[in-house]
């Protein structure tokens, strides 16, 4: 039956080069090697890439290059570790490369069964396809052999073979209504993947140099990308990885230098920090916060562990930061006082009030960092300890490394942020907001929850970020599969 007569035609699409604009698989193998295996495995994969590339040129239809990269990046890794990377790290890079036109053709509403055929291991692709491409879509890729909960690096089946798709279809189903693939070289029709043989209609997606494929806009994602993990900011192409590797020694020296500068007087420190490439910009609204009896309570959205330290530099006085959990290394290098909370609401309120009585206090009511342009729900406790709150809208970033992590070693977060060639911070101090508490007592017509929501909206409006009701617990459940609390009951940022 022709596809125009079928009510719900089945669709199969090639992932790399069709749904994804680029056909290069190395970046995704590198991300698995780095995030699940570590820097040494990533270095081995980078060293092996020239050999794999030569094999790909010499034997383009053999798949040997992909098998080499699969083995180097996954052999010996725990299945759970690879699954975590596939869920928390790879989708951001897949989405940045997702073709607008191909996605719309594949995810059309009248389609029935959907299949994504790839040369990548199924374990690396499946979370992305089901979460961000099409719910219920089947992934046909290399199934890796598992022994004792770890991958051997060898595939049980071939990659994107006709037999693999037929095995998924099952007996009695040997035809796909529409097949989507990319043009490949001069003989596109001859180089179509094997699964196209069982597709009634073949749609070849070509991307001329004068009209390159456009990525899917963020606003059109199947669901918002709010949380993700991983240290690398940019797509880890081979040359980009080489640049990162060469930068590391200088970056480490710069990070140490920038940390030491933070202990100098503020006016001198700002000049020296700028000389190293660290950019700090601040908009103080009506001017620097006035001094008052006690201290000023600042409520910041949370981008990195350095938020309170940079705020202290901007206002030119020590601001105490409160935290639920901070590594010993982070406490040691902190240029400002830090106070640990207990996660007991009554005790934490007393602690924060005592700190505020003696000086300025900075809180991050989100309870954890968020990389994307979203604000998590603000915990209302801060609105109960002072008569007014000064919201602080924070932006921060770097071109090479993220300064936050969920699965990695959090003690290195500040180092990684400061290792960026030109990290930047933009702070905007907003007009104070009256709180639900005056002089530490209950009062006012607004509840602390209402005040927290108002502060969240004020910061969101200033930054152009979307306010959400998501929490730290939601972040850790989505990325790490747990509540973000360690065995001692400490919450991770």
Return the HEC string of the chain. Answer: CCCCCCCCCCEEEECECCCECCCCCHHHHHHHHHHHHCHHHHHHHHHHHHHHHHHHHHCCCCCHHHHHHHHHHHCCCEHHHHHHHHHHCHHHHHHHCEEHHHHHHHCCCCCCCEEEEEEEEHHHHHHHHHHHHCCCCEEEEECEEEECCEEEEEECCCCCCHHHHHHHHCCCCCCEEEEEEECCCCCCCCCCCHHHHHEEEEEEECCCCCCCCCECCHHHCCCCCCCCCCCECCCCCHHHHHHHHHHHHHHHHHHHHHHHHCCCCHHHHHHHHHHCCCEEEEECCCCCCCCCCCCCEEEECCCCCCHHHHHHHHHCCCEEEEECCCCHHHHHHCCCCEEECCCCHHHHHHHHHHHHHHCEEEECCCCCCCCCCEECCCCHHHHHCCCEEEEEEEEEECCCECCCCCCCCHHHHHHHHHCCCCCEEEEEECCCEECCEECCEECCCCCHHHHHHHHHHHHHHHHCCEECCCCHHHHHHHHCCCCCECCCCCECC
Considering the domain boundaries, does residue 247 fall inside one? Answer: no
Round to whole Å and give the CA distance between 381 and 449.
8
Q: Is residue 244 part of a domain?
A: no
Can you give the pTM of this predicted structure? 0.89
Average pLDDT over every residue of 85-103? 95
Q: In the predicted model, is pLDDT for residue 439 greater than 50?
A: no
Answer yes or no: do 192 and 46 share one domain.
yes
Looking at per-residue pLDDT, the higher value among 65 and 4 belongs to 65
In whole angstroms, what is the distance from residue 313 CA to residue 282 CA? Answer: 10
- The number of folded domains in the chain is 2
pLDDT range class, residue 441, cuts 50, 70, 90 = very low
Same domain as 182, residue 303: no
Q: Indicate the pairing of strand 150-155 with strand 144-147.
A: antiparallel
The pLDDT confidence band at residue 58, using thresholds 50, 70 and 90, is: low
Q: What are the structure tokens assigned to 81, written together? A: 């570790």
**Among the three residues 207, 228, 246, which one is the final residue of a domain in this structure?**
207
pLDDT band at 188 (very low <50, low <70, confident <90, very high): very low
Same domain, 202 and 342: no
Both 77 and 170 in one domain: the answer is yes
- Which residue among 207, 233, 249 closes a domain? 207
Do 20 and 150 sit in the same domain of this protein? yes
Residue 463 lies in a domain: yes
Of residues 159 and 370, the one with the higher pLDDT is: 370
Q: What is the pLDDT averaged over residues 26-55?
A: 94
Pick the range with the lowest mean pLDDT from 36-40, 320-324, 465-469. Answer: 320-324
Instruction: Kindly report the number of other CB atoms within 10 A of residue 46's CB atom.
Output: 20
Residue 427 pLDDT: 97
Return the pLDDT at 47: 95
Half-sphere exposure of residue 480, counting CA atoms within 13 Å on the CB side? Answer: 18
Which pLDDT belongs to residue 487? 43
Task: Please report the pLDDT score of residue 289 as a whole number.
Answer: 57
- 217 or 293: which leads in pLDDT: 217
Judged by average pLDDT, the poorest of 49-63, 133-147, 270-284 is: 49-63
pLDDT: which is higher, 5 or 118: 118
Is residue 160 domain-shared with residue 289, that is, in the same domain?
A: no
The verdict on residue 127 lying in a domain is yes
Residues 166 and 284 in one domain: no
Mean pLDDT, range 245-253, rounded to an integer: 96
Q: What is the pLDDT of residue 196?
A: 79
| Residue 319: strand pairing partners | 360
Under the banding of pLDDT at 50, 70 and 90, the label for residue 177 is confident
User: What CATH number corresponds to the domain at position 15?
Assistant: 3.40.50
State the pLDDT confidence band at 233, using cuts at 50, 70 and 90: very high
Distance CA 267, CA 490 (A): 36
Whole-angstrom Cα distance, residue 432 to residue 439? 16
What is residue 32's predicted lDDT score, i.e. its pLDDT? 98
Contacts of 205 (CB under 8 A, 6+ apart): 18, 99, 101, 102, 105, 180, 181, 182, 183, 213
Residue with tokens 């660290």: 278
- Mean pLDDT (the chain, rounded): 86
Q: What average pLDDT does range 485-489 have in this prediction?
A: 51
pLDDT at 228: 95
| Pair 316, 201 in one domain | no
**Per-residue pLDDT band at 189 (split at 50, 70, 90):** very low
Domain hosting 199: range is 11-207
Question: What is the tens place of the pLDDT at every residue in 329-377?
Answer: 777 888 999 998 888 889 999 999 999 998 999 999 999 999 999 999 9
Given this model, what pLDDT does residue 239 score? 95
Q: Do 183 and 273 share a domain, yes or no?
A: no
- Cα 87 to Cα 475: distance, rounded to the nearest angstrom: 12
CB 286 within 8 A of CB 375: no
Evaluate whether residue 257 is within a structural domain: no
More confident residue, 483 or 348: 348
Both 453 and 342 in one domain: the answer is yes
Give the rounded percent of residues in the chain with a pLDDT score beyond 90. Answer: 60
287 and 196 fall within a common domain: no
Do residue 160 and residue 267 come from a single domain? no
Please indicate, yes or no, if residue 175 is contained in any of the structural domains. yes
Residue 363 φ then ψ, to 5°: -125, 150
Does the pLDDT value for residue 77 go beyond 90? yes
pLDDT band at 199 (very low <50, low <70, confident <90, very high): confident
- Looking at the domain assignment, is residue 284 inside a domain? yes
Q: Which of 126-130, 429-433, 448-452, 477-481 has the lowest mean pLDDT?
A: 477-481
Distance set, CA 253 to CA 250, 419, 440, 459 (Å): 5, 8, 45, 34
Q: What pLDDT digit, counting tens, does each position of 382-398 carry?
A: 999 988 999 999 999 99
Residue 76, pLDDT above cutoff 70: yes
Residue 367 domain-assigned?
yes
Measured between alpha carbons, how far is 124 from 120 in angstroms, rounded to an integer? Answer: 7
Whether the pLDDT of residue 155 is over 70: the answer is yes
Residue 415 reports pLDDT greater than 80? yes
CB atoms within 10 A of CB 233: 17
Whole-angstrom distance, CA of residue 20 vs CA of residue 333 = 42
421 or 209, higher pLDDT: 421
Q: What distance in Å separates the CA atoms of residue 26 and residue 49, rounded to the nearest whole number? A: 8
pLDDT of 378 reads 96
Last residue of a domain, one of 207, 226, 254: 207
């Amino acid at each position: 039956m022709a596809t125009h007569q079928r009510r719900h035609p089945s669709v199969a699409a090639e992932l790399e080069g069709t749904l994804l604009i680029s056909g290069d698989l190395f970046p995704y193998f590198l991300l698995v090697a780095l995030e699940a295996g570590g820097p040494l495995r990533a270095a081995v994969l980078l060293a092996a890439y020239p050999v794999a590339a030569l094999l790909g040129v010499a034997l383009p239809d053999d798949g040997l290059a992909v098998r080499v990269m699969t083995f180097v990046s996954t052999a010996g890794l725990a299945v759970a570790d690879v699954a975590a990377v596939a869920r928390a790290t790879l989708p951001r890079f897949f989405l940045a490369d997702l073709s607008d036109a191909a996605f719309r053709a594949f995810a059309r509403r009248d389609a029935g069964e959907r299949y994504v055929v790839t040369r990548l291991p199924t374990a690396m692709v499946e979370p992305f396809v089901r979460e961000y491409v099409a719910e219920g879509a089947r992934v046909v890729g290399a199934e890796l052999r598992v022994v004792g909960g770890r991958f051997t690096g060898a595939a049980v089946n071939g990659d994107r073979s006709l037999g693999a798709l037929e095995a998924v279809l099952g007996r009695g189903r040997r035809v796909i209504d529409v097949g989507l693939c990319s043009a490949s070289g001069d003989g596109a029709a001859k180089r179509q993947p094997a699964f196209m043989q069982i597709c009634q209609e073949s749609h070849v997606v070509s991307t001329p140099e004068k009209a390159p494929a456009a990525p899917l806009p963020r606003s059109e994602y199947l669901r918002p990308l709010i949380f993700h993990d991983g240290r690398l900011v940019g797509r880890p192409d081979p040359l980009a990885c080489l640049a990162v590797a060469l930068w590391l020694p200088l970056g480490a020296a710069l990070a140490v230098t920038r940390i030491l500068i933070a202990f100098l007087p503020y006016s001198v420190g700002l000049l020296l920090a700028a000389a190293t490439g660290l950019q700090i910009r601040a908009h103080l609204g009506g001017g620097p916060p006035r001094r008052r009896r006690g201290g000023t309570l600042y409520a910041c959205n949370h981008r990195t562990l350095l938020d309170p330290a940079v705020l202290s530099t901007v206002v030119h006085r020590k601001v105490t930061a409160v935290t639920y959990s901070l590594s010993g290394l982070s406490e040691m290098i902190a240029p400002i006082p830090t106070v640990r909370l207990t996660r007991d609401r009554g005790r934490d309120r007393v602690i924060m009030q005592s700190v505020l009585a003696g000086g300025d206090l900075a809180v991050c009511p989100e309870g954890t960092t968020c990389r994307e342009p979203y604000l998590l729900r603000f915990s209302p406790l801060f609105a109960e300890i002072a008569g007014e709150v000064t919201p602080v809208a924070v932006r921060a970033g770097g071109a090479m490394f993220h300064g936050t992590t969920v699965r990695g070693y959090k003690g290195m977060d500040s180092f990684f942020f400061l290792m960026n060639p030109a990290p930047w911070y933009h702070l905007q101090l907003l007009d104070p907001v009256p709180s639900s508490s005056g002089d530490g007592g209950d009062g006012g017509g607004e509840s602390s929850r209402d005040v927290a929501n108002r502060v969240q909206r004020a910061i969101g409006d200033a930054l152009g970020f979307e306010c959400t009701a998501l929490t730290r617990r939601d972040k850790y459940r989505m990325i790490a599969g747990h509540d973000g609390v360690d065995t001692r009951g400490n919450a991770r940022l």
